[in-house]
């Protein structure tokens, strides 16, 4: 599990971790309404550990909601025992009152961690359908000794509770240290007359952690556990299992976090599908990645939402702790999109579909994050979201044979269903009597494509566009048909809404058709049509709402990733299975494009340069000169490390591309138009969880410094490479929406302290001035003091060990202590305390 990480050992830095946002002082929301960020319960500030965490909610038979969470008000030496508090709401979650609690009546330890509630759908043993269950971890306050997952039942909708059975036992201690026999995170599911409990299991010496399953037919005795997910890598830690049933395909979906994956670090969200919920072990393992390329991480929780009036159609809704957004799949977990519901996230944020006074809504509950203590303050909060928000109800198919008024009406209906405000002028005032304009149809279909998030980010739709020729674009796999169409006068620059004919041919590996189309002399191999990115609805709307473009659309449609034709030729020829055939296709296509004038220095959106691919072909020209934007090949290759990680097959690794450039004579001293050296770009990417390995980055750092790059060189913004390194992971790419790093638990890994020390040593040996101030008077201490992630704490201690002075003032007259204090108006800044203690130590 994401879990309790070495517990007391993390308390010293827990104030720096991802935290529940500041308490909002506000009145209760209206009953039975949609609302956000509603504080429910404030724990005592002196409470130990993270005070509260891991909220769960359920709706019982009388329509009221019950809410519980981990609650530990007592210290390790207290004689009092922790319980699961139960609050009740009778107004749709708007307000709450104390109702009951679940106390440990068996072990003398207390009810400690990860409660889960469930209502029986069928009779199980002597317990009738409708019985309310709760299970959670019971273990001593010291976390040493044994641990049970215990089951309690209620026959009066949560007012009173009785012990039923021990579900599972571990010898402990209850920590995440490999070898400790701990168990965590129960989840209920009924199947074939049995009640099953899935849980995270550290008891098997062959696995640091695995997912296990036990079942019962009477709630009193439980079967021996069986494996649900167990990786061959002994260090892998799958955890936090949640099961949903997808009636559209008759399969169960298991969502879970996969900590310590072989592809990198962190705990990315994974899922598996199986027709039998006891057979996930052999099911295909999927990483959850959105259509925009984002992979969320940490404690996923998923539910199935049935569309109103439908017996099968619906959507999977999933939450993770890395994002405030929800993740939604409308196509049976095939593709995923992000939906902003403006609700707090948290450790295993809970999702509950419930009847809110006659309307089905989504209830979200959170109690903050593990690791949050000290000045970082967890509390329990909730929110309610209408299910049409984020277009969760949308299920629209644009027919391929609809044109004119019929299509206009369908798009008009789509606007009403989704409540999307379309750009002014897109829809005809009376869609039943008018066809849309050519431009209007294009705009609508682009928006529909983005909204529905088709896997290709576009749709193939027949439209009545004036003078537009679609035939060749639909024949990209048939050379004879393309020749026939050209002889009949069809245009070689034909396109459909998905791609140009040339692009389609390249992606299909159709070398002959690429050569045929280029030979017509009509197609410009460097064309970059000015279309908005179809993966971003907001940008599309903004673009079309702010302009009145009456000209015809570009004749060659650019694919959604904004690749030039030559990029496609060198990366997207996947269809032939033989790798030699693929390479031959790439070479032939690239040669044809270059012969017809393709620019080998072109750059597309992720700043990947064709030049870098072309270096992989021995014997071709390798001129070390800037492109039209003034960017040299070496700078572009280093930029690629930060801005791009491969979604498609490419030639060679990022590190070897840089080595090749230097070996070919590239000048390491060049700068980009903003004055950044190659060292600046390398610093910006460090350490990058998504692409280049840390050891390679250190090697490249030494290599560039050995080649003579000045470690104190500044760009036009007055920033040195060392400053950029010490602010790495503070840009939007490496933060969640609350300003903390995406993976705070990885921030606590000890190896990063060693990495920071080694990097600083590399720069010091090369002559870097550690006490230098930038154009705003900021020292490295000012920069680090202004951040709150655990990795920054690591760097703060490192800089203080180098005798940097915390009392140096910047251009605003602020010391590093002042900067740290400015982030915490309460005056309890952990960074400020560390800095003050250092100054006091120097002064004796």
Sheet holding 301-306, edge to edge: 301-306, 314-319, 326-329, 337-339
Place of tokens 């002014």: 424
Does residue 330 or residue 105 have the better pLDDT? 105
* Mean pLDDT, the chain, integer: 71
In the structure, what pLDDT confidence band is assigned to residue 243 with cuts at 50, 70 and 90? very high
Beta pairing, strands 251-259 & 237-246: antiparallel
Whole-number pLDDT of residue 323: 87
Under a CB-based contact definition with an 8 Å cutoff, are residues 364 and 351 in contact? yes
Percent of the chain past pLDDT 90, that is, above it, reads: 31
Compute the average pLDDT of residues 379-392. Answer: 75
Say yes or no to pLDDT of 154 above 90.
yes
Question: Between 570 and 203, whose confidence is greater?
Answer: 203
Phi/psi for 683 (5° steps) reads -65, -35
Rounded (5°) CA angle 822-824-828: 120
Res 617: pLDDT: 42
* pLDDT tens by residue, 269-278: 999 999 999 9
Average pLDDT over residues 492-507: 53
Buried b (16+ CB within 10 A) or exposed e, 277-308: bbebeebeebebbbbeebbbbbbbbbbbbebe
Can you name the CATH fold of 50-391?
A: Neuraminidase (2.120.10)
Confidence of residue 758 (pLDDT cuts 50, 70, 90): confident
3-state SS string over 612-671? HHHCCCCCCCCCCCCCCCCCCHHHHHHHHHHHCCCCCCCCCCHHHHHHHHHHCCCCCCCC
Closest CA to 312 of 331, 297, 287: 331
pLDDT of residue 319: 96
737: pLDDT strictly greater than 90? no
CB of 662 within 8 A of CB of 669? no
The average pLDDT across 464-469 equals 39
Residue by residue, DSSP assigns 298-323 as S--EEEEEEPTT-SS-EEEEEE-TT-
**Token pair for residue 529?**
């049509």
- Confidence band for 228, pLDDT divided at 50, 70 and 90: very high
Mind listing the pLDDT tens digit for each residue in 522-576? 766 665 433 323 233 334 334 434 444 333 222 222 333 444 555 555 544 434 4
Asked if 173 and 180 count as a contact pair (C-beta separation under 8 A), the reply is yes
CB atoms within 10 A of CB 274: 17
Q: What is d(CA 672, CA 640) in angstroms, rounded to the nearest whole number?
A: 14
Q: What is the pLDDT of residue 326?
A: 92
Strand partners, 198: 187, 213
Q: What is the pLDDT of residue 301?
A: 97
So what's the pLDDT on residue 19? 42
Residue in the structure block whose two tokens are 């007012």: 159
Residue 363 has pLDDT above 60, yes or no: yes
Region of 481 on the Ramachandran plot (φ > 0 left; ψ -120 to 50 alpha; else beta) = alpha
Least confident segment among 237-251, 346-360, 645-659, 774-788: 645-659
Strand-pairing partners, residue 255, are 242, 271
Q: What is the 3-state secondary structure (H, E, C) of 356-397?
A: ECCEEEEEEEECCCCCCCCCCCCCEEEEEEECCHHHCCCCCC
The rounded distance, in Å, linking the Cα atoms of 692 and 655 is 7
CA quadruple 113, 119, 125, 128: dihedral positive or negative? Answer: positive
pLDDT tier for residue 618 given thresholds of 50, 70 and 90: very low
- What does the alpha-carbon distance between residue 432 and residue 417 come to, in Å, rounded to a whole number? 17
Ordered strands of the 210-216 beta sheet = 183-191, 194-201, 210-216, 226-229
Look up residue 26 and give its two tokens: 């506000």
Alpha-carbon span 124 to 191, nearest angstrom = 11
Phi/psi-derived region of residue 694, left when phi > 0, alpha when psi is between -120 and 50, beta in every other case: alpha
pLDDT of residue 283: 96
| Cα–Cα distance for residue pair 192/248, rounded to 1 Å | 20
Question: CA-CA distance, 409 to 694, in Å (whole number)?
Answer: 55
| 8 A C-beta contact, residue 746 and residue 803 | no
Average pLDDT over residues 274-285: 96
Q: Residue 222 pLDDT more than 70?
A: yes
| N-to-C CA span, the chain | 44
With cut-offs at 50, 70 and 90, classify the pLDDT of residue 703: confident
Q: What is the mean pLDDT of residues 763-775?
A: 86
3-state helix, strand, coil in the chain (%, to 5): 25, 20, 55
Cβ of 611: how many Cβ atoms within 10 Å? 25
**Under a CB-based contact definition with an 8 Å cutoff, are residues 66 and 380 in contact?**
no
| Residue range 126-149, pLDDT digits in tens | 999 999 999 999 999 888 889 999
The Cα-based distances of 798 to 753, 809, 826 in angstroms read: 8, 20, 26
In our burial notation (b when 16+ CB lie closer than 10 A, e otherwise), range 802-821 reads eebebebebeeebbbbbbbb
Name the band, by pLDDT with cuts 50, 70 and 90, for residue 665: low
Look at residues 625, 616, 682 and name the one whose alpha carbon lies nearest to residue 650: 616
In the chain, the largest separation of any two C-alpha atoms, in whole Å, equals 92
pLDDT of residue 190: 97
Report yes or no: 152 and 161 within 8 Å, Cβ to Cβ: yes
- Nearest alpha carbon to residue 545 among 418, 422, 419: 422
Q: In this model, does residue 357 exceed pLDDT 50?
A: yes
Distance, in Å, from the CA atom of 633 to the CA atom of 590, rounded to the nearest integer, reads 18
What does the alpha-carbon distance between residue 41 and residue 367 come to, in Å, rounded to a whole number?
9
pLDDT in the model for residue 552: 29
For residue 103, what are the CA distances in angstroms to 87, 151, 201? Answer: 14, 11, 24
Q: Give which of 509, 505, 508 is closest to 525, Cα–Cα.
A: 505
- The predicted structure's pLDDT at residue 494: 57
Q: Is the pLDDT of residue 329 over 70?
A: yes
**Range of weakest confidence among 65-74, 239-248, 301-310, 327-336:** 301-310
For the segment 667-699, what is each residue's pLDDT rounded down to a tens digit?
778 787 778 888 887 776 654 443 345 666 777
Q: Is 94 helix (H, G, I), strand (E, B) or coil?
A: coil
- For CA atoms 699, 702, 706, 708, the dihedral sign is positive
Q: How far apart are CA 683 and CA 672, in angstroms?
A: 15
Q: Is 766 helix (H, G, I), strand (E, B) or coil?
A: coil
pLDDT digits (tens, 9 = 90+) for 771-809: 888 878 888 888 888 776 655 776 788 888 888 888 999
Least confident among 177-191, 343-357, 680-694:
680-694
């Amino acid at each position: 599990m994401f879990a309790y990480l070495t517990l007391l050992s993390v308390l010293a830095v827990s104030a720096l971790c991802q935290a529940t946002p500041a308490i909002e002082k506000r009145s209760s929301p209206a009953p039975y309404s949609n609302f956000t960020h509603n504080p429910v319960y404030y724990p005592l500030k002196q409470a130990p550990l993270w005070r509260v965490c891991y909220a769960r909610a359920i709706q019982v038979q009388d329509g009221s909601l019950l809410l519980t969470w981990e609650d530990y008000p007592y210290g390790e030496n207290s004689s009092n025992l922790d319980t699961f508090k139960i609050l009740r709401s009778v107004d749709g979650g708007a307000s709450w009152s104390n109702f009951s609690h679940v106390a440990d009546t068996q072990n003398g330890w207390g009810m400690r961690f990860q409660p889960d509630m469930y209502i029986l759908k069928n009779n199980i043993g002597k317990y009738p359908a409708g019985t309310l269950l709760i299970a959670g971890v019971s273990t001593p306050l010291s976390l040493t000794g044994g641990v049970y997952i215990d089951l309690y039942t209620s026959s009066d909708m949560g007012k009173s509770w009785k012990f039923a059975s021990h579900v599972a036992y571990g010898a402990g201690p209850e920590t995440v240290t490999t070898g400790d026999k701990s168990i965590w995170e129960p989840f209920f599911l009924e199947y074939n007359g049995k009640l099953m409990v899935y849980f995270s299991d550290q008891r098997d010496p062959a696995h640091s952690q695995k997912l296990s399953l036990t079942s019962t037919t009477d709630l009193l005795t439980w079967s021996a556990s069986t494996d649900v997910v167990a990786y061959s890598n002994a260090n892998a830690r799958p955890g936090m299992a949640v099961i949903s049933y997808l009636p559209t395909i008759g399969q169960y979906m298991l969502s879970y976090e996969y900590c310590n994956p072989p592809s990198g670090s962190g705990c990315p969200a994974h899922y598996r599908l199986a027709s039998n919920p006891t057979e996930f072990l052999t099911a295909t393992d999927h990483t959850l990645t959105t259509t925009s390329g984002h992979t969320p991480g940490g404690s996923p929780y998923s539910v199935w939402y049935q569309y109103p009036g439908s017996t099968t159609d619906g959507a999977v809704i999933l939450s993770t702790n890395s994002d405030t957004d929800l993740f939604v799949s409308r196509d049976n977990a095939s593709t995923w999109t992000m939906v902003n519901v403006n609700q707090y996230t948290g450790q295993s944020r809970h999702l509950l579909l419930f009847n809110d006074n006659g309307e089905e809504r989504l209830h979200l509950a959170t109690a903050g994050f593990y690791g949050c203590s000290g000045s970082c303050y967890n509390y329990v909060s909730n929110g309610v979201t209408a299910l049409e928000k984020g277009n969760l109800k949308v299920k629209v198919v644009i027919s391929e044979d609809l044109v004119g008024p019929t299509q206009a009406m369908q798009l008009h209906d789509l606007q009403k269903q989704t409540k999307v405000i379309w750009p002014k002028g897109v829809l005809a005032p009376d869609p039943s009597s008018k066809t849309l304009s050519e431009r209007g149809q294009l705009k609508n279909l682009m928006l529909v494509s983005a909204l529905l998030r088709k896997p290709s980010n576009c749709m193939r739709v027949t439209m009545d566009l004036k003078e537009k020729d679609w035939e060749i674009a639909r024949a990209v796999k048939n050379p004879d048909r393309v020749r026939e169409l050209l002889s009949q006068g069809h245009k070689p620059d034909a396109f459909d809404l998905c791609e140009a004919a040339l692009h389609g041919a390249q992606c299909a590996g159709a070398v002959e058709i690429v050569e045929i189309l280029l030979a017509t002399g009509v197609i410009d191999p460097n064309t970059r049509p000015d279309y908005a990115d179809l993966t971003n609805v907001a940008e599309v709307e903004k673009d079309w709402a702010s302009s009145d473009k009456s000209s015809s659309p570009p004749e060659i449609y650019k694919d959604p990733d904004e690749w030039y034709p030559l990029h496609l030729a060198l990366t997207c020829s996947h269809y032939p299975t033989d790798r030699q055939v693929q390479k031959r296709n790439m070479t032939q296509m690239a040669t044809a494009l270059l012969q017809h004038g393709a620019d080998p220095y072109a750059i597309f959106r992720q700043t990947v340069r064709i030049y870098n691919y072309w270096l992989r072909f021995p014997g071709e020209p390798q001129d070390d000169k800037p492109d039209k934007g003034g960017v040299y090949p070496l700078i572009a290759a280093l930029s690629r490390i930060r801005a791009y990680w491969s979604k498609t097959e490419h030639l060679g690794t990022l590190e070897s591309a840089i080595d090749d450039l230097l070996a070919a004579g590239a000048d390491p001293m060049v700068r980009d138009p903003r004055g950044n050296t190659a060292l600046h770009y390398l610093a910006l990417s460090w350490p990058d969880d998504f692409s280049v390995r840390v050891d390679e980055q250190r090697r490249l750092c030494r290599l560039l410094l050995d080649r003579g790059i000045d470690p104190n060189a500044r760009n036009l913004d007055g920033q040195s490479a060392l400053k950029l390194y010490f602010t790495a992971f503070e840009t939007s790419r490496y933060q969640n929406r609350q300003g903390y790093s995406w993976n705070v638990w990885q921030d606590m890994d000890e190896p990063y302290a060693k990495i920071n020390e080694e990097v600083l040593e590399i720069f010091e040996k090369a002559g870097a001035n550690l006490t230098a101030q930038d154009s705003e008077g900021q020292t490295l201490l000012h920069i680090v003091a202004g951040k709150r992630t655990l990795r920054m704490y690591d760097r703060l201690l490192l800089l203080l060990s180098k005798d940097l002075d915390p009392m140096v003032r910047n251009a605003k007259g602020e010391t590093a202590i002042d900067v740290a204090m400015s982030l915490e108006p309460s005056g309890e800044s952990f960074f400020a305390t560390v800095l003050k203690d250092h100054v006091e130590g120097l002064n004796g």
